[in-house]
Chains A and B, each alone.
Chain A
Amino acid sequence: MSDLGRVLRADARRTALVFAVPILALAGVATAWQATLAGLPGVAYWDNTVVALASAVRLLGPCAAALAAWVAVREHRLDYLRGLTPRSPAIGPLLDLMLLTGVALAAYGVVALVTVCDTLLREGAGRPHPLGIVAGAAALAPHVVLGYLCGRIAPFPMVVLPVAGAAGLWTALRGGGWWSLLPPAAIRPVELFTGLRTRVLADQTLWALGLAATLTLAYVWTLTRRRTLAVPLAVAVAVTAISTVRLEASGGSAVVPAPIDHVCREWPLTVCVHPALRPALPALDAAMTPLAARLAGTPGAFSRVEQRPVGEPARIWRGVAYIRVPDLSPGFEWRAVRELRASLIDAQSCAEPHRRHGAAYRGLVDAWLLDERAPEMFDAETARRFGSWSERERRLWLRLNYADYRRCTLVRQSFGG
């Protein structure tokens, strides 16, 4: 083993960095897992893998900063050996930073590996974002450097707490706007039909690396006063400034609409969804088919179901039912059917007070359309009569009375009373 290797190993042992990796990795995996669950339940989407990693960095960053401050305080006590050296006076701090960055990256690597494997095992949709993973790793660098420098400037054990607190506040207090895109970025779960902006990820990477390089070079300059550092320092400052301006210009949005090709199931209905929801096809088909059959022959008839982005309303238009399925949490198919059924009615007309009775009759029909139990209503005789009809009779009746059903203008006579 080389002399440098022996020194690095001694530093790693002295500062217990070997134990730091599993602890940081465990905390990071737990955070990423929580972010995955909070994102799109049941949906494996590569963009949200990056979001989960960004969430992990929001915890790992302050932890790495606190660790770096603690190591700096410990290593400060060895300045009588490391400072009085014919080598560059920056060699000790740079070796520390190298070790600490290695530790943070090793922990992040474990988190990234677990998260990526999880997405792969669940056949994640979309496309992988290597740049997103790099951006998360880069965001750790300024944390490590800043924490370490704080420990060098104020070499007291108590400095660890304010460092962790300040890093935590920086992470927690940037709720919105373009500030939230500065690493460690606060990115909301990416909805389906949208994707992360590659440019934002690139700017975040440059910002983090630029800031880490600026701080490191400035500190090395204070130790060595070498004029040759001026050029790389200026470049690092420029990179940080330019990436800041570009992030500000992004308007605080990390996602853009991402057109995709649906995946479809052709029988008995044609149901098309986002590729991330491929497992949902059988359930959606099974839930939508009865409704489609009952609406056949009416203006609300449809023979194709197509998933749309969450921001668009559910509706039926020219034989196509556009539905919303934000995630695959239990009961997603019935929520989609209810939304579609709700889109059938004229909300404005039904909201009028004198259509109260019409709305009650409509509820009777709704229960049949959704295969639900008929509600208690004031006109028990009509409810009994409607309940006694066969499926075929009800479908014929709906074709004749669809307009009244839609506008909530049904009366007792509509049911032959």
Chain B
Amino acid sequence: MIVENSTVVARGLAVRRAGRWLLRPATFGVRAGVVGLAGPAKTGKSTLLATLATLRRPHSGSLEILGFDIGDNTSLRSIRARIGFLPEHFSWAANLTVGQFVAYAAYYKCVPGDRVRAVLERMELADTTSMELSLLPPDVRLRVGLAATCVHGPDLVLLDEPLAGLDERATAEITALLPTLAPTVLVTAEDSAALGRCDQLFTVTRGRLVETSRAPDAACAGGRDRV
């Protein structure tokens, strides 16, 4: 369903890869809040997320993100300035420190160096600034990825399977962190139960995207205490 002020508006959006429909033509809107996208493995969630991140072109249809049409090249740069995207197996440089990695992201996000310290403190990473990424446990490394993704204060954050492989405690901590990352956070998972309670939930199966109804007062665990 498309509502006024939807962060993402897709009309007839279709995504194909290697001759296979990953998303058959679909019309949908992504509203503010924590939005879940659930579906079995290898059903195209990552490709759809990369498309919403403007890193892939849709096969057909139109796509508006944050009020800009991605078909317009001048708009594209404006959209990209306000998006944060973290792929499932995000690449990090094993020999870079946490501070260096987030500063690297800050350069490309065009934000000053003092924002690096601020986002590291926000992600409770201040003590690990000088540690090499390869030495960190997975949940802390994920926090570093989130810091790099959100160093510029994006309006839309797209996270691909961020909770995969985390233990229960780390999952709870990260889930509580999600609503604070941006006004709209789109998170994927194989199982919708892993996402906790979301403001909006989509499921994708066999190339079809379906918006699943939730309780009207549903909110992701951790509430909407956005910073």
What's the minimum C-beta distance from B224 to chain A, rounded to whole angstroms?
25
Is B110 in the interface zone, CB < 8 Å from A?
A: yes
Binds A, one of B22-30, B79-87, B166-174, B202-210: B79-87
Q: How many Å lie between the Cα of A367 and that of B140 in the bound state?
A: 89
A6 near B103 with CB under 8 A, answer yes
Question: Is the CB of B100 closer than 8 A to any CB of chain A?
Answer: yes
Contacting residues, chain A, for B93 (C-beta < 8 A): 10, 13-14
A: interface residue count bin: 20 to 34
A417 lies within 8 A of chain B by Cβ: no
Report whether A85 and B81 are in contact in the complex, using a CB–CB cutoff of 8 Å. Answer: yes
* A14–B100 alpha-carbon span in the complex (Å): 11
Would you call A79 an interface residue if the criterion is a C-beta within 8 Å of the partner chain's C-beta atoms? Answer: yes
Chain B residues positioned under 8 Å from A84 (CB to CB): 53-55, 80, 83-85, 108-109
Residues of chain B with a CB closer than 8 A to A81's CB: 104-105, 108-109, 148-149
Q: Does B96 contact A (CB under 8 A)?
A: yes
Inter-chain contact A80/B87, CB cutoff 8 Å: yes
Q: Once bound together, how far apart are the Cα atoms of A86 and B77, in whole Å? A: 5
Q: Which residue of A lies closest to B86 (CB)?
A: A80
Query: Which chain A residue shows the least CB distance to B79?
Result: A84
Q: Which of A195-245 contact B (CB under 8 A)?
A: 224-225
> Is the Cβ of B104 less than 8 Å from the Cβ of A80?
no
| Chain B residues near A225 (CB-CB < 8 A) | 73
B73, B96, B108, B148 pick with most chain A CB within 10 angstroms: B108
Of A77, A83, A224, the residue contacting B80 (CB under 8 A) is: A83
Q: Does A395 contact B (CB under 8 A)?
A: no
Within 8 A of A (CB), among B94-123: 95-96, 100-101, 103-110, 113
Contact of A82 among B81, B87, B96, B108 (CB under 8 A): B108
Cβ-defined contact, B108 with A92, below 8 A:
yes
Roughly how many angstroms separate A225 CA and B77 CA in the complex, as a whole number? 12
CA distance A4 to B106 in the complex (A): 11
Contact B91 A85 (CB under 8 A): no
B104 surroundings in chain A (CB, below 8 A): 6-7, 10, 81
Q: Within A14-71, which residues are at the interface with B (CB < 8 Å)?
A: 14
Query: A78 at interface (Cβ–Cβ under 8 A)?
Result: yes
Does the CB pair A3–B113 fall under 8 Å? yes
A87 at the B interface (CB under 8 A): yes
CA distance A116 to B87 in the complex (A): 50
**Is the beta-carbon distance between A10 and B96 smaller than 8 angstroms?**
yes
Measured in the bound complex, the distance between the Cα atoms of B106 and A82 in whole Å is 10
Q: How far is the CA of A74 from the CA of B14 in the complex (A)?
A: 29
Docked pose: A78 CA to B101 CA in angstroms: 11
Interface size class of B (residues with CB under 8 A): 20 to 34
Complex formed: what's the CA distance from A4 to B108 in Å?
A: 10
**Interchain CB contact under 8 A, A83 and B110:** no
Considering the chains assembled together, what is the distance between the CA atoms of A13 and B92 in angstroms? 12
**Residues of B close to A3: CB separation below 8 A:** 103, 106-107, 113
For B78, give the chain A residue with the smallest CB separation: A86
Contact string, A147-191, partner B, CB cutoff 8 A, digits 1/0?
000000000000000000000000000000000000000000000
Residues 87 to 105 of chain A near chain B (Cβ within 8 Å): 87, 89, 91-92
Closest B residue to A223 using CB positions: B73
Measured CB to CB, the closest approach of chain B to A5, in angstroms, equals: 10
Choose among B54, B78, B85, B91 the residue with the greatest number of A CB atoms under 10 Å from its CB.
Answer: B91
Decide if B55 touches A83 in the complex (CB within 8 Å).
Answer: yes
Q: Which of A3, A13, A81, A225 has the most CB of B within 10 A?
A: A81
Q: Using Cβ atoms and an 8 Å threshold, which residues of chain A touch B84?
A: 84
Within 8 A of B (CB), among A301-315: none
How far does the Cβ of A155 sit from chain B's closest Cβ, in whole Å?
12
Q: Are B80 and A86 in contact (CB under 8 A)?
A: yes
Q: In the bound complex, do residue B96 and residue A14 qualify as a contact, i.e. CB atoms below 8 Å apart?
A: yes
A77 to B105, CA, bound (A): 13
Chain A residue with Cβ nearest B93: A14
Asked if A6 and B90 sit within 8 Å, CB to CB, the answer is no
What CA separation (Å) do A264 and B109 show in the bound complex? 70
Within 8 A of A (CB), among B45-88: 53-55, 73, 77-78, 80-81, 83-87
- Bound together, the chains give a CA A253 to CA B91 distance in angstroms of 50
Distance between B165 CB and nearest chain A CB, rounded to angstroms: 18
Contact assessment for B80 and A6 in the assembled complex, using a CB-CB cutoff below 8 Å: no
- What B residues does A85 contact at CB under 8 A? 80-81, 108-110
Q: How far is the CA of A216 from the CA of B60 in the complex (A)?
A: 29
Q: Which residue on chain B has the smallest CB distance to residue A92? A: B108
Residues from chain A with Cβ under 8 Å of B108 in the complex: 7, 81-82, 84-85, 87, 91-92
Q: Which of B83, B87, B100, B148 contacts A6 (CB 8 A)?
A: B100
The answer, among A13, A74, A79, A91, for a CB contact under 8 Å with B95, is: A13
Docked complex Cα distance between A78 and B148 (Å): 11
Give 11 new A-B contacts, CB below 8 A, not counting A10-B103, A13-B96, A79-B55. Answer: A4-B107, A7-B104, A14-B93, A14-B95, A14-B96, A80-B90, A83-B80, A84-B53, A85-B80, A85-B110, A89-B80
A to B CB contacts below 8 Å, 17 in the list: A6-B100, A10-B96, A10-B100, A10-B104, A13-B96, A80-B55, A80-B90, A81-B104, A81-B105, A81-B149, A82-B108, A83-B55, A85-B80, A86-B78, A86-B110, A89-B77, A89-B80
Q: 8 shortest A-B CB distances, which residue pairs?
A: A86-B81, A77-B91, A14-B93, A85-B108, A84-B80, A7-B107, A80-B85, A86-B110
